[in-house]
Amino acid sequence: MAVYTIKKAEKAPLASKGVLLWLRVNLFSDVTNSLFTLLGCYFIYLIVPPLINWMIIDATWSGTKEEIINDGARWIFIFEKFDQFIYGFYPEALHWRPNLAALISIFFILSMNFISNLKIKIGLILVYPIISFVLISGGFGLEIIPTEKWGGLMLTILVAAVGIIVSFPIGIVLALGRQSKMPIVRTLCIAFIEFIRGVPLITILFMASVILPLFFHDGIEFDKLLRALIGITLFQAAYIAEVVRGGLQAIPRGQYEAADSLGLSYWQGMILIILPQALKISIPNLVGSFISLFKDTTLVLIIGLFDVLAMVSLTNSDTNWLGFEVEGYVFVTMIYWVFCFSMSQYSKSIERKYNTEH
């Protein structure tokens, strides 16, 4: 009679658990994959160590221009010109005003997550831009700072924020108009959207900065920044309209009919039933569109406004600081990345919050 002895359980082979398993499954699952992994490692080896060397180890972090000896990044340039990169020509003594406006913005964005009362929310959305505007531009006892003094990151954020906040409602109205049953409204909306989408943003900005002033006679001055803002807002509105239309068309016909059969008016049906669903499914596209707007704002440099990118070339034309383009561009790249990445993360959190498909 055979005796069965229970074998002791052996440990799993080293390669089928933990780090090694992960490596095998993800990086070395077959020959092609392994080759690509090795190739990737090689590229990382080529790029990362020199980059770290340049950016951190060999970099010059302090001292004066004359003391530079290393070959690495000369960050002292950024420190020297930091105020211009962030505030443009905004008077130094008044930097607290844009700072405060920025603080309020952060507070405003965060508060949107906690306040659930729609009326308070809408109230905040209406009041917040006014407070920020007064803080930055002046009035009500604050010294007035003309727009040609605005610049740098402050201008970038301002243009993007105005573009996003103002174009959003216009875009929704355009999207609804495009689907309207009233022929004139529909035609006008389609004409506007297709016209704007048919021309590049640069053309619109040039129109606003070069052609428009010729129509006004001397003496009537129409702020250059305002002209650019109007151009950018109209441009963005047309794109928002198309994104929202995509959302509207994705809502099943039954939802529209349900709204009708409940006896809701057009606006009631839209606001209470259709739009909340349509906007929810449009969030990824909307944020994508906002991120691309944030990056597009830099086009204002072609009409002589100094956004953060234009500041790189301006600060590099200072005869005492010639030849620091690379540091400037790397710095601005990091700024753009931080903002765009934050926006996309924020959008993900909103998507999760409004996700009702359990």
Q: Which residues bind other proteins (CB under 8 A)?
A: 80-81, 83-84, 88-89, 92, 146, 148, 206, 209-211, 213-219, 221, 224, 301-304, 306, 310, 313-323, 325
Rounded CA-CA distance 309/302 in Å is 11
Find out whether 49 and 58 touch, Cβ atoms under 8 Å: no
| Cβ at position 245, least distance to other proteins in Å | 35
Of 101 and 299, the one with the shorter C-beta distance to other proteins is 299
Of 136 and 273, the one with the shorter C-beta distance to other proteins is 136
| Residue owning tokens 């308070």 | 120
User: Looking at residue 322, what DSSP letter applies?
Assistant: -
| Cβ at position 317, least distance to other proteins in Å | 3
| Cβ at position 357, least distance to other proteins in Å | 50
Question: N- to C-terminal Cα distance for the chain?
Answer: 58
| Cβ at position 353, least distance to other proteins in Å | 42
Of 278 and 299, the one with the shorter C-beta distance to other proteins is 299
Rounded CA-CA distance 347/352 in Å is 9
Hey, what are 91's tokens?
């008077």
Find out whether 270 and 172 touch, Cβ atoms under 8 Å: no
Listed in sequence order, the residues at least 6 apart from 83 whose beta carbon sits closer than 8 Å to its beta carbon are 92, 95
Rounded CA-CA distance 34/28 in Å is 4
Find out whether 196 and 235 touch, Cβ atoms under 8 Å: yes
Of 223 and 257, the one with the shorter C-beta distance to other proteins is 223
| Cβ at position 149, least distance to other proteins in Å | 8
- Torsion on CA atoms 114, 115, 118, 122, rounded to nearest 10: -100
Listed in sequence order, the residues at least 6 apart from 321 whose beta carbon sits closer than 8 Å to its beta carbon are 65, 77, 80, 81, 315
Distance of CA 121 to the CA centre of its chain: 22
| Cβ at position 144, least distance to other proteins in Å | 13
Of 216 and 341, the one with the shorter C-beta distance to other proteins is 216
| Cβ at position 78, least distance to other proteins in Å | 11
| Cβ at position 301, least distance to other proteins in Å | 8
Find out whether 234 and 328 touch, Cβ atoms under 8 Å: no
Of 282 and 316, the one with the shorter C-beta distance to other proteins is 316
Of 252 and 323, the one with the shorter C-beta distance to other proteins is 323
Of 81 and 178, the one with the shorter C-beta distance to other proteins is 81
Beta-bridge partner residues of 307: 152
Rounded CA-CA distance 56/72 in Å is 8
Hey, what are 68's tokens?
């530079």
